[in-house]
Structure 1
């Protein structure tokens, strides 16, 4: 059997391939029908174990293997290796709904050896009650990829993974299970074992990545980091990944590098609003990186777990990740088949702010859960998501997280589009969520200490992962006492980067639909004649460039300087001033009545257009930034403003300082057009970041 497995390995990888230590042991465990947890370093070859195991089981008459993975899209290149040994692999996920029926037919015909699923699919009642039971011969093996996602103590806990535990309990005892991870410390391992069963056989290897050369570089701000990337990225052989914490930073870094003649592309979850086009772009960019057709992909965590390019030459972090575990996961993309690859960590002033935001918003709070349970409990006919958003001042994302967690725990259940309270008793418990938040903050502190440590970087990482095979790597900056890359950047390049950041203007897309509950029970289109047109923002709030100037002027100086007026004029001359504007107005405020008005008046004077005080604040409504979802934001704006009886019929520039949800500008635009104004063009100094991290 071992010879057969080795033959399959060589078909997948190459004729000289040999099993890594522990790989055959894991395959043998699978064949014997055991439950096995693999904790092995990134790049060790965990997929080899379950692909070869699946092939051997299939040849012995077992049913297809089910692989549950959080990032199916990134397993494409691994599946290509599986095809080399005659495995027929299919995937069912939200990106390929048009293929589901054909795949189900293949399953019934026994034409599928491996079925890859996202954990979210296990929450689909039709799939679990109709499709899974219809698999001919039953499930041959269950694979839980990235098993740390099961544990809420893990760095990437996903509630849908809890559904896997129920599936496992329903499996016949002879069906093998294999769970894999590279990033589980002992606490997470113990939690996984508690959920998957005490009979879990654990195979744990050393986590040190011997090919990686780590260096930490401290730079003051984004301009210095952009300059550093330009000066150093071409000094590194091969192609690589630059990780950013937010989507906007991915776009910005990729654009900067392209402006400097470096072939870099952004990669994240919002490459296109069209699902098929987004999928095409992501696949195309993965392929370009695999074939060394780009120098770098500038990516969020969307390009993380599951992506396999053995000759990836470098991983650079534009910002510091929130935990050692995540950092290890991401640098593990590099150098899998190389003797030397670089992992360079850049870090700056905004890193902690971003990560602390992510930590504080990661888990639904007991208060939020209790509010949702109460509102559902009072509704005898159930509550749709839209009705909950209308009832509670809570963001769409927070409501979704609460509903998913409560549904998985059985506290509520869903019928069609409505949620109902189950008979299971429930009391909000803050103990666990507070403990996890505290753990995340401790992990962030560990990452801060990593920046300043003088010990071996890889040893520091291995210690935090409870690796029993501790040793110095002998390759990092601290071990060798040498800088691989300079920590000093050219002043000229920094000044150029500052100018680049100051020219990073942002678009304001007009709102086109009323939220559900405003004009009708469901979302309703805003009439074309009422809609504002596309506008512009000078910068991202708080960002390097103009963003920090806007923040300081608003909250410290309480006066927007002429420097911002001049910068706005430069932007407008190349964009909105080409639209034959006839006048300027601004969004009023009762709290700071002169701040925006004064800026808009000075801007109007510079442009050479009349300023008209057309919009009135009629009610002291709550701060718009405290409204958490579209219904609350739109409703708040509708109650707050009116427009004078007569306004010019020509197009107008509508000025505000900061845009967040966009509903204030949308409502003011509708009111202006209702009084006879021409086209409305919004302009703001800054766009709130929203800290859109994740993927």
Structure 2
């Protein structure tokens, strides 16, 4: 029977208010609208509650106070599912300030796991935070989870939009939480929280939370207004990377306090940090390539205002909490207004004003498309994985599966998580096994998700095109409407409501130095060419299964012999680099029919190639050039190789031979299958063999249009080395990854 929730002035309210003041350290603290309603529903009614409230509203206060009040009533500890290690650190610290005994189990603190397990056994912990991925870990699932499920006093799912594949940041492991909710005693309250859920995501989360309510009551959803009065939004479209970078160099100091500059790729974040960092104004990079200890140090430096900004990818993501963050700038737009709302919402949580500026780029849509296609599992890949697991007599590790199915490691790991959540596979000691349960690829759902993603991308472009005086105009209203918040009213502060508040391009900036100095700094970055490319040093596993055989008749395995390896190579630039991404994508793109563009190399790019060669610090100068034969861009590759030979006065040794059976390389996506596809693709022609002999072991340049997996250069270079060449130096125009 559903009871009437406690009201303000009740004993529960007074108890919760005292706990809130301990949590915040403020004797005058009061609940925000909806906070106590959620706490009362959890503690007195044991409800399933979904809280959708803007960033900074105080969702963490709700679950910490509910956990504390539940413990006082004799329940077991709260289990909080939290998506990020950085978020866990902040949450544990906040809980302890309120007298809540909290701990976290994550990959960042394995030495503490034993003590935490003892604390759980002794019932001396009030809150345990774990990542959703931890629920898949066999040891945790077998040894800790059953005890937690049996004794859990409250389940909290933070950043609950990750449950829904309609959301902008779907994580397959979150889908497993539906089963966890179903295993709980119906009397155990469940709380899900998020700041970024539209109506479709809310309905999806409600359906998964409502598996077993104590009294059959529906999920209680508490939605508040999502507009942020403190944010001053703007969008400035500039013609190219040079203009965007010059703008940031000249005007970064005009932004208040310290903040975050988001980029779409790690390379852009690192380059931007190098460009903007200077004595007295520190700027540092924060990406997925930053190790855990350095991430923690950088987060603290930003919180302590020891840096002007972190140039960051989305790795500085959900839950990062700096209440006085002064600004958020985006160099390149996220693919979704909802994702954009979440990132800009980190600014101005405890300040009257914070500046938010978007600087979109021409390359944004290409980057969106890359990430969108990389994250969608295909039926072909799913069927192949299930077939291999079904044939196997025991568990298969991810590397072992990778040698059996042509799927890249990241996509394979994502696919396995999806299949595990849907009950088709299971992660056990030693790897993955098939459960044998019937499974059907939900093609209509994935098609609908893909359509939703395209609609989100279009909405982001519509946001960029809003102009002063638009009839529909207000940037904050636009973002709120994407989250189905119908209460939003025009902010009166954004550049659509009130006109540009930010300096225009070319506006003077006294603190940034001269325009000439800014332009020189940007030119040094954008004109830089010559990115090193590491050589492959080991063969992938599983080549025996793909019938790859070396000249001895045995499959290659282990280290590639030093005498058969290529040297460190060079590319003009990476496709993700600032400055060169756009011209390289234009050069190496496709026409309207999807066919690769093929034209002779332009003088502009040829000059840059010469600069790469001039700056290459090789031990011995190459004396010959060999081209990788190309079926997709033969004119481009031949003109590149021939031009290098003429300008550098090197011998043009022609192309490697190409097997008559060779077809365009489209299918191979992981290392083992790529090696198998390339193994017999190239040959040493008699003419090339004779030319190599005459060089008497001198170095050779091996030229191609682009480098992706690095296996083409590895296999082709091995052939040249075995034919008697000296060191092989790979050179290409671009690197994809």
Normalised TM-score (structure 1): 0.91
Change in CA separation of 1:339 and 1:685 when aligned onto 2, cut-off 3 Å: same
Change (3 A) 1:381 1:87: closer
Partner of 2:238: 219
Q: Which moved more, 1:335-344 or 1:122-131?
A: 122-131
Q: Secondary structure at the match of 1:210?
A: coil
Report deviation, 1:324: 1.6
| Alpha-carbon separation, structure 2, partners of 1:540 and 1:287 | 31
Partner of 2:263: 244
Q: Map of 1:636-647 to 2, 5 A cutoff?
A: 636-643=677-684, 644=689, 646=693
Q: Which of residues 648, 661, 667 is equivalent to 2:709?
A: 661
1:489-539 per-residue CA deviation (whole Å, 9 max, x = no partner) reads 798656863552220532201112211112689962223443333222111
* Cα distance, 1:136–1:402 mapped onto 2, change above 3 Å: closer
Shifted more, 117-126 versus 518-527: the winner is 518-527
Equivalent residue runs for 1:368-447 within 5 Å? 368-379=381-392, 385-386=398-399, 388-417=401-430, 419-447=432-460
Q: Which runs of 5+ in 2 are unaligned?
A: 1-11, 211-216, 509-514, 546-554, 589-595
Deviates more, 1:544-553 or 1:70-79: 544-553
* Whole-angstrom distance in 2 between the partners of 1:476 and 1:514: 55
Task: Say yes or no: does 1:525 pair with 2:559.
Answer: yes
| Equivalence for 2:23 | 12
Q: Does residue 536 of structure 1 match 2:570?
A: yes
Please name the residue that 2:718 is paired with.
Answer: 670
For residues 638 and 390 of structure 1, the distance between their equivalents in structure 2, rounded to whole angstroms, comes to: 15
SS of corresponding position for 1:353: helix
Compare relative contact order (CA 8 Å, sep 6+) and give the higher one, 1 or 2.
1
Relative distance call for 1:444 and 1:40 in structure 2 (3 A) is same
User: Take 2:257 and 2:105, find their aligned partners in 1: how far apart are those partners?
Assistant: 34
Is 1:192 aligned to 2:199, yes or no?
Answer: no
Kept in 1: contact 2:268–2:577 (CA 8 A): no
Residue in structure 1 matched with residue 254 of structure 2 by the alignment: 235
Which residue in the other structure is 1:274 paired with? none
- Please report how far the alpha carbon of residue 624 of structure 1 lies from its aligned counterpart in structure 2 after TM superposition: 3.8
Which digits, 9 at most, give the CA deviation of each residue in 1:599-648, with x for residues without a partner? Answer: 23432444454444484334553334542111121222221223426353
Equivalent residue number for residue 485 of structure 1? 503
Q: Does 2:594 match 1:575?
A: no
Contact 2:404 2:542 in 1 (8 A): no
Offset of residue 407 of structure 1: 1.8
Measured after TM superposition, the shift of residue 28 of structure 1 is 2.1
Relative distance call for 1:136 and 1:37 in structure 2 (3 A) is closer
Determine the structure 2 residue equivalent to 1:686: 734
User: 1:383, CA displacement in angstroms?
Assistant: 5.4
Cα shift at 1:41: 0.5
Contact 2:80 2:130 in 1 (8 A): yes
> Hey, what's the Cα distance between the residues in 2 that align with 1:172 and 1:97?
30
Greater Cα offset, 364-373 or 24-33: 364-373
Compared CA separation, residues 308 and 215, structure 1 to 2 (3 A): same
Determine whether 1:42 maps to 2:55: yes
Partner of 1:331: 344
**Does residue 31 of the first structure (1) align with residue 71 of the second (2)?**
no
> C-alpha distance in 1, partners of 2:656/2:16?
75
Bigger shift: residues 195-204 or 237-246? 195-204
For 1:79 and 1:96, the matched residues in 2 are separated by 13
Residue 475 (structure 1) aligned to one of 464, 489, 493: 493
Q: Separation in 1 of the partners of 2:369 and 2:697?
A: 48
Q: CA deviation at 1:480?
A: 1.9
CA-CA distance at 1:140 after TM superposition: 1.9
Query: How far apart in 2 are the matches of 1:653 and 1:259?
Result: 38
Return the alpha-carbon distance in structure 2 between the equivalents of residues 428 and 265 of structure 1: 43
Q: How does 1:143-292 map to 2 (within 5 A)?
A: 143-197=156-210, 199-258=218-277, 262-271=281-290, 278-292=291-305
Distance 1:561 1:450, change over 3 A: closer
Q: Does 1:347 align with 2:360?
A: yes
- Indicate the larger mover: 252-261 or 309-318: 252-261
Specify the SS of the correspondent of 1:479.
coil
Q: Distance in 2 between matches of 1:622 and 1:542?
A: 28
State how far apart, in whole Å, the 2-side matches of 1:466 and 1:302 are.
26
Distance in 2 (CA, whole Å) between partners of 1:621 and 1:259 is 52
Deviation of 1:415 after TM superposition, in Å, equals 4.5
Structure 2 match to 1:304: 317
Deviations 1:279-334 (A, max 9, x none): 11111111111111111111111112110000100111111111121111111000
Measured after TM superposition, the shift of residue 348 of structure 1 is 2.2
In the alignment, which residue of structure 1 is the partner of 2:106?
A: 93
Match for residue 482 of structure 2? Answer: 464
Q: Which moved more, 1:339-348 or 1:3-12?
A: 3-12
TM-score (norm 2): 0.86
Q: CA offsets per residue over residues 251-304 of structure 1, 9 Å max, x none?
A: 222222237985221111112xxxxxx111111111111111111111111112
Query: What is the number of equivalent residue pairs in this alignment?
Result: 682
**CA distance in structure 1 between the aligned counterparts of 2:300 and 2:287, rounded to whole angstroms:** 15
| Alignment match of 2:135 (pick from 100, 107, 122) | 122
Counterparts of 1:594 and 1:285, CA distance in 2: 47
Task: Determine whether 1:629 maps to 2:670.
Answer: yes
Pick which of 643-652 and 24-33 moved more.
643-652
Unaligned ranges ≥5, structure 1: 272-277, 691-695
The question of 1:58 aligning with 2:71 is answered yes
CA distance in 1, matches of 2:426, 2:556: 22
3-state DSSP of counterpart to 1:525: coil
Distance change (3 Å), C-alpha of 1:619 and 1:588 = farther
Partner in structure 2 of residue 589 of structure 1: 629
SS of alignment partner, residue 144 of structure 2: helix
Change (3 A) 1:165 1:462: same
In the TM superposition, what is the alpha-carbon distance from 1:122 to its structure 2 partner?
1.0
The CA deviation at 1:426 is: 2.9
Q: Which moved more, 1:548-557 or 1:55-64?
A: 548-557
C-alpha displacement of 1:562 = 4.1
